[in-house]
Structure 1
Amino acid sequence: MIEKREFKDLAHVDHEWLQARHHFSFGKYWDPSRMGFGPIRVWNDDEIQPKTGFPMHGHQDMEIITYVREGAITHRDNMGNEGRTEAGDVQVMSAGTGVMHSEYNLEDEQTRLFQIWIEPRAAGGAPRWDAKAFPKSDDRADQLEILASGFDEDIAGGALMIGADARLYGASLTKGTAITHEIAEDAHVYLVGSAGQVRVNGELVDTRDSLAIRDVASLQIEAVDDAEFVFVEAWETQNR
């Protein structure tokens, strides 16, 4: 099963300082038929105006990943963490037993990002935050990279740690490049284009379009032009 959802069909909530598009039910947008995809609970496509952002607020029992597409976001929390995450880089937060945090665009330009929530493999645990600037070099081009993961072997290889049975992949492909990814058994895969166009198993994915993928053995991904995309591969905990 491959279900495509175009960017123009996403729910749009206008907060003036924030233009939010929701892939799944979130906040003011409620659709009982779109409550998530497997353990992937939230995928928000946010545009945050300069010098604005999300004031201090709380979360519990959720793995929250932020992938910055353009601009930068500055994080602060009640654990004493503070960090600035730029375009192409990633921050992660395990809410655990509870955390308070803020996310602000302190830049002079608009920030665009994907915020992704994944259900943890277990409730509770100590909250934590981390971020990583992934190298923007030729070594990163034309291949999949594991940006965040709940598995020790990936974390040892440089991925950010999350407390979920999931991996976040990202890739920047030059026009005409094709790659293949074998999907693990029972996985839910949710792929969103970040820039350019890719063709995935014959489906054209434009910037900010998405594919929900289930019961497919592999992905054949070709860059129609210079392109960037990310996807989550996640499992229901009882199936791991």
Structure 2
Amino acid sequence: MAINVRLAKDVYQVSAHVDDGSFNGKWHYSFDNYYDPNRMGFGPLKAFNDNFLSPGAAYTGQFRRDFEMVSYCATGEYQFVDDDDGNYNTLKKGHAQVVTMGKGLHYREINVRKDMPARVIQMWFPPSSMGLTPGMAMKEVGREARTNRFYPIVSNHHPGSLKIHQDVSVFAAYLKKETPLLYQFKARNAYFYMIEGGPVLLNGREIPPFAAARIEGEPLIRLEAMADAEILMVDMPGKAVRREERR
């Protein structure tokens, strides 16, 4: 059993000029041009990126295939545009989206607001099958729905959640100060992220803002916010993690 905390200062920082602005990110695992043999994902979680687009900026000309991408808007208004068919979703704070890249998808990411940055946390997973038909779906989640509970924004096991072609669930929670919250695992692991606020205590370990925790083999976790806090947690298979680490 283990909880390994990773502070924000230890996460890879990326920045680039994009259309009408700039892009900055905190990338937890190897992704795109960032490669670290010691950071090659965690089980089915192959990338975990905390991305920022400056006001009015657009990240265009992107193409991916055979990935499931989960996006969670933490600040501002973020728009995802499918350039192949013209469909788009606009996410506000607390809203989530699942995109199936499938056999290939050209897309853009846009900060709709001209007066504030857009912050989007993105999680990338390989799909259960290759060559799927591309598609996307979004879910609007207000603060009340996720207050003092693990709200399943993505899950194949909770009615009303966004579905995904992988055995993972993504939970969002807004924790009020000094309100304990419990989560029980059944031979599963998790990746925990402090979006803002806090810090929080995770089984007695202090997790400051922008820090993450890799949770392995814990049957139960207990959270308590020392100040109001926003968090995300990815629940994933335990066995997949052990196979990956032996390679």
- TM above 0.5, yes or no, is yes
C-alpha displacement of 1:87: 1.0
C-alpha displacement of 1:124: 2.1
What is the percentage of aligned positions where both structures have the same residue? 27
Q: Which of these residues, 112, 135, 145, is aligned with residue 119 of structure 2?
A: 112
Q: Which of these residues, 93, 102, 110, is aligned with residue 87 of structure 1?
A: 93
| 1:41-52 → structure 2 map (5 Å cutoff) | 41-52=46-57
TM-score, length-scaled by structure 2:
0.89
C-alpha displacement of 1:56: 3.0
TM-score, length-scaled by structure 1:
0.92
Per-residue CA deviations over 1:165-209 (Å, capped at 9, x if unaligned) read: 000001001100111101121x23101001112111111111110
Q: 2:235 maps to which residue?
A: 233
CA distance in 1, matches of 2:235, 2:140: 21
Q: 2:204 maps to which residue?
A: 202
Q: Alpha carbons of 1:104 and 1:183: their partners in 2 closer, same or farther (altered >3 Å)?
A: same
Residue identity in the other structure for 1:146 = P
Q: Is 1:216 aligned with 2:223?
A: no
Q: 2:244 maps to which residue?
A: none
Q: Alpha carbons of 1:105 and 1:3: their partners in 2 closer, same or farther (altered >3 Å)?
A: same
| 1:1-240 → structure 2 map (5 Å cutoff) | 1-16=2-17, 17-77=22-82, 78-108=84-114, 109-137=116-144, 139-149=145-155, 151=156, 153-154=157-158, 157-185=159-187, 187-197=188-198, 198-235=200-237
Q: Check whether the contact 1:194–1:228 (CA below 8 A) recurs between aligned residues.
A: yes
C-alpha displacement of 1:235: 2.0
Per-residue CA deviations over 1:194-228 (Å, capped at 9, x if unaligned) read: 11121111111111100011111111111111011
Q: 2:245 maps to which residue?
A: none
CA distance in 2, matches of 1:95, 1:143: 30
Gaps of 5+ in 1: none
Q: Alpha carbons of 1:196 and 1:190: their partners in 2 closer, same or farther (altered >3 Å)?
A: same
CA distance in 2, matches of 1:83, 1:180: 33
Runs of 4+ more than 6 Å apart? 236-239
Residue identity in the other structure for 1:10 = V
Q: Check whether the contact 1:75–1:104 (CA below 8 A) recurs between aligned residues.
A: yes
Q: Alpha carbons of 1:82 and 1:179: their partners in 2 closer, same or farther (altered >3 Å)?
A: same
Per-residue CA deviations over 1:95-144 (Å, capped at 9, x if unaligned) read: 1111111111121211112111012222222111011111333x531111
CA distance in 1, matches of 2:35, 2:93: 29
Gaps of 5+ in 2: 242-247
